[in-house]
Structure 1
Amino acid sequence: MCQIMMRIEKFIENKKQFLDLLLLADEQEDMIDKYLSGGDLFALFEGDLKSVCVVVPISRDTCELKNIATCEKYQGKGYGRALINFISDYYKSDYKTMLVGTGETPGILSFYEGCGFKKSHRVKNFFTDNYDHPMFDGDIQLVDMIYLKKDL
């Protein structure tokens, strides 16, 4: 029996090839454009593409996970968690803290908390001020950005 190995690659160029997947986590392309060129994009493959994320530097000792998305048919199988574990290890020699911002969605907040993040702060009206249409996750309208942080 042949076993397919999981691999994670960092992409420096042609990051827009992953736009369809990035749009699952951030549904407005011009918002993705604001961080994609200055960020590191990582893609997780196990046979085919499973998950991607983008990490950007914020300060000398802090980076931010700006986007993480897993193909819908592979969600809930540990690929996002594996990618977060990889980038946490990857950046621990360069940064002290990793931030991630998300909407106030219980399932997503508990996912990040399960990956070692703790609630940090809130940016009021982030989604209503920065997106050209109302943002929803299921039936929950996203208004404030909830930031979580993780010590690396």
Structure 2
Amino acid sequence: MTKANGRVYSDNRNIIKITDNKKEFIDLLLLADEQENMVDQYLERGEMFVLDDNGIKAECVITKEGNGVYELKNIAVSPDCQRKGYGKSLIEFLFSAYTDCNTMFVGTGDVPSSLTFYKKCGFTESHRIINFFVDNYDHPIFEDGNQLVDMVYLRRER
């Protein structure tokens, strides 16, 4: 991994840290968290990265939650680019870039496709926040045809 002009090169994919005008990249983030005011709660305090492989294919936002503890608040891959390793590349990049990260959490809906993805990336189930999606969103949220109710938190240890 090398750095040049604000760009980070990893696995032949260009991962760029976005420091200004993060809202320009909101459309892709809204695929993973479809209510903009929820994204706004973490967007500015988090660090954003986009993966550019002849165009933006994926992006993520990560926050520092404590000493050695980070949370992957949002990770989204363009629908036509899913299952090509872009999401996993971003997660692996974060673990290599944040050398002080001992524990990374991620919260997601209780659907097999998401849980399987994170487990393939080395995460295990940690805890749940009951009724998170029902209590915090102004409309029902659906993924893979299922209404999301509880937030499932997963963790990965270094």
Scaled by the length of structure 1, the TM-score of the pair is 0.94
Q: Could you say what secondary structure the match of 1:58 adopts?
A: strand
Aligned to 1:7: 14
Aligned to 1:132: 138
1:49 to 30, 35, 56: 56
CA drift at 1:26 = 0.2
Scaled by the length of structure 2, the TM-score of the pair is 0.91
Q: Could you say what secondary structure the match of 1:98 adopts?
A: strand
Unaligned stretches of 5+ residues in structure 2: 1-11
- Aligned-partner residue type, residue 63 of structure 2: V
Instruction: Please identify runs of 4+ aligned residues in structure 1 that moved more than 3 A.
Output: none
| Distance in structure 2 (CA, Å) of the matches to 1:69 and 1:95 | 21
| Distance in structure 2 (CA, Å) of the matches to 1:90 and 1:131 | 32
CA drift at 1:94 = 1.9
Aligned to 2:88: 81
Q: Could you say what secondary structure the match of 1:33 adopts?
A: helix
Q: Could you say what secondary structure the match of 1:47 adopts?
A: coil
CA drift at 1:106 = 0.5
Which one scores higher on RCO, CA 8 angstroms, separation ≥ 6? 1
Aligned to 1:118: 124
Q: Could you say what secondary structure the match of 2:142 adopts?
A: strand
Contact 2:110 2:150 in 1 (8 A): yes
- Aligned residue-pair number: 147
| Distance in structure 2 (CA, Å) of the matches to 1:89 and 1:147 | 21
Q: Could you say what secondary structure the match of 1:143 adopts?
A: coil
Contact 2:95 2:101 in 1 (8 A): no
Aligned to 2:72: 65
| Distance in structure 1 (CA, Å) of the matches to 2:84 and 2:145 | 23
Quick one: percent identity of the two aligned structures? Answer: 51
| Distance in structure 2 (CA, Å) of the matches to 1:14 and 1:52 | 14
Q: Could you say what secondary structure the match of 1:76 adopts?
A: coil
Contact 1:120 1:149 in 2 (8 A): yes
Q: Say what the alpha-carbon RMSD is for the aligned residues.
A: 0.8
